[in-house]
Copies of this chain bind each other. A is one copy, B any other.
Amino acid sequence: MKGLSPDRLLPTEPKALEIARRLYESVRDLPIISPHGHTDPQWYAENEAFPDPAQLFVIPDHYVLRMLVSQGIDLTELGVQRRDGGLTETDSRKVWQTFAENFHLFRATPSRMWLEHAFQEVFGWTKRLTAETAEEAYDHIAERLVQPDFKPRALFERFNIEVIATTESPLDDLKWHRAIRECDWRGRVVTAYRPDPVVDPEFEGFQQNIEHFGEITGEDTFSWQGYLNAHLARRAYFKSFGATSSDHGHPTARTENLSSAKAQELFQKALKGTCTVDEAEAFRGHMLTEMARMSLDDGLVLQIHPGSHRNHSNPVMDTFGRDKGFDIPTRTDYVKALKPLLDAYGLEKDLSIILFTLDETSYSRELAPLAGAYPTLKLGPAWWFHDSAEGMRRFREMTTETAGFYNTVGFNDDTRAFCSIPARHDVARRVDCAYLASLVTSGRLNEDEAYEVAYDLTYRLAKQAYRL
């Protein structure tokens, strides 16, 4: 590797390249707005050094794990803990070596670009990672990790993050957010309200979660009104820690707007663990409408992330637990699914609902037409598997003509891989500028407008849509 190409992801054709370069130049150094992600607030609260390269780049990254597993490497060889406490690799250098030996597997994947960006731009290591260079890379990165400039807060500042959101359960006490607020560091870290553990009757330990939900709010969460009050209370608590959004990761986009009697009936079944599959889905769907109702009062932005079949492999789930790279997207309907919620609140100008999808077929067929009509709806960026150069390009090509730019919300990184954040935002800026340049060269947009749109997509829309 001679290092990252300065024109990567920009067009090859010289005329388009010139325009794309100018556009990119204009947004490259804008602050990062990260309104949706999964970094750990403990990092910012404690500001401890990250332990080592393998624990930073390999073991917690389900993108990296799944690709290595797909080629026959065991999760135990990669240092992933077994639930039964069985043997797993504990030598981070060995894990790193396995990773480096298989680095070619990541060719042309976004992980490759994020990793190399981090190696080069964050750690100043510009060689290619191979079996031969593995040890040198490990030492290079490990040496830096212990330095003050590589601690979480220093990186946060170096990454030019203006604001970052984490995601917490209503049952979380937000102690790390409290610690951040009470320390003298001024980085802006906010939480987001992710109530899956207390709105999904199929969530592990639902009944106990509801009980705990009552304890921390002082509400009788086994009554319907007490349960709703507990949400109101926790949402207010989360808002006091900067939350501007809630986040909902249901298997489908189904919504319901049930009568209070029907909702209560489902809730009582959920508490008894007697919901059918369909009733559990109806209950989750109804809770989206309840959340929208609450948002009309407290202003939290509602994010809907449907369509992942989580933990698809039973043996992997049984042995290693959740989030090991075996979440698989499924076909997702939005048109029928969202109608109950939209009939109730779709025209409310004070409500903001951000939709994500893992089913790209819905971009032009369903999501752009919906967001291009309903004032409440906005489209989140290309998500997860589609958070990639081709994925972002498809998102723009398939949504812009119907929804325009202003029914989208800019980029978010959705990551727990801290060092990949600048890389991910950089990819989005480049792909958007390449797309805008293609509009300019093909006479679909004037260049002066393209600068404005580039700024909006990079910075303004995310702040506006997430009310940050």
Q: Which residues of A contact B (CB under 8 A)?
A: 1-2, 4-5, 7-13, 15-16, 66-67, 69-72, 104-110, 112-113, 128, 309, 312-316, 325-331, 333, 335-336, 339, 342-343, 346-347, 349, 358-361, 364-366, 368-375, 377, 385-386, 388-391, 397-398, 400-407, 438-439, 441-446, 449, 452-453
A364 and B385 contacting across the interface, CB-CB below 8 Å: yes
Complex-state Cα separation, A59 to B432, whole angstroms: 33
Interface centre among A2, A312, A325 (most CB of B within 10 A): A312
Question: Least Cβ distance of A389 to chain B in Å?
Answer: 7
**Complexed CA–CA distance, A128 and B397 (Å):** 24
* CB contact under 8 A between A66 and B372, given known A313-B346, A391-B364: yes
Query: Can you report 8 residue pairs joining A to B where beta carbons are below 8 Å apart?
Result: A71-B375, A72-B349, A108-B445, A312-B335, A313-B374, A325-B373, A359-B365, A390-B397
- Would you call A9 and B372 a contact (CB within 8 A)? no
Chain multiplicity (copies): 3
Q: How distant is the Cα of A114 from the Cα of B328 in the complex, in angstroms?
A: 37
B70 and A109 contact, CB distance less than 8 A: no
Residues of B within 8 A of A109 (CB): 400-402, 404
A70 near B407 with CB under 8 A, answer yes
Q: Are A8 and B442 in contact (CB-based, < 8 A)?
A: yes
**A335-B328, A368-B385 known; A8-B443 Cβ under 8 A:** yes
In the docked arrangement, what's the CA distance between A323 and B217, Å? Answer: 47
Contact B397 A329 (CB under 8 A): no
Which residue of B373, B389, B397, B441 contacts A444 across the interface (Cβ within 8 Å)? B389
**A389 to B402 Cα, complex, angstroms:** 11
Q: Given A365-B331, A373-B328, A16 and B12 touching (CB < 8 A)?
A: yes
CA distance A71 to B339 in the complex (A): 19
